[in-house]
Amino acid sequence: MNKTIEDILNRRSIRAYLDKPVPEDDLKTIVKAGIYAPSAKNRQDWHFTVITNKETIDQLSAMAVVGMKRIGLEPKEDAHIFYHAPVVIIISSKIAGFSSVNVGCAIENIALAAKALGYGSCIVGQTRYMYHKANKIDVDKLIKIPEGYEHDVAICLGYPNEEPEAKPRKENIVDYIL
């Protein structure tokens, strides 16, 4: 089968990782894949913060967990929103028409490039809960979000330590006009 189609169909969300760093060259290729996503009117109004510093990754997770508790959610005691992955990429963008669709394209490119190179990944939205723990200015500074940009979503990645099956796909979600 076509390798690209195969990678698209076999990409899974991975929630267990080996404690093993991702080589710099691969990480650069993965980030480049994100940057080569399409964006509305080619604005490319996005920003990527690539984090491999374990202390920072753990700190962000802990902040998000506190934020969750503050708004009444009940994360597990040992919850780690990035599943202890060795790499976290935070995506932010200028909020404008289609910015979230653009970000979706970029993050899916990252997920697929990771898959293509033998890594697992998981898109993580819980980073937004950090903003319930601390002020926006402080969180944005910590994760290097540029002024005028808003954090959208994150993705963690690394060598996978599980091989989950594909979740069943919903039926009756395609209509045709032939």
**Residues at the contact surface with a copy of itself, assessed by CB under 8 A:** 2-5, 7-9, 11, 13, 29, 31-33, 35-38, 40, 42, 44, 46-53, 56, 97-98, 100-109, 111-113, 115-117, 123, 125, 143-144, 152-153, 166-167, 169-170, 173-178
Q: What Cα–Cα distance (Å) separates residue 41 from each residue in 45, 92, 99, 147?
A: 10, 17, 11, 21
Q: Which is nearer to a copy of itself, 61 or 102 (CB)?
A: 102
Shortest Cβ 143–a copy of itself spacing (Å): 8
Shortest Cβ 92–a copy of itself spacing (Å): 10
Residue 16 in 3-state DSSP? coil
Q: Which is nearer to a copy of itself, 20 or 32 (CB)?
A: 32
Q: Which is nearer to a copy of itself, 61 or 109 (CB)?
A: 109
User: Residue 168: exposed, middle, or buried by beta-carbon count in 10 A (0-12, 13-18, 19+)?
Assistant: exposed
Residue 10 in 3-state DSSP? helix
Q: Which is nearer to a copy of itself, 13 or 161 (CB)?
A: 13
The secondary structure of 23-48 as a DSSP string is PHHHHHHHHHHHHTS--GGG---EEE
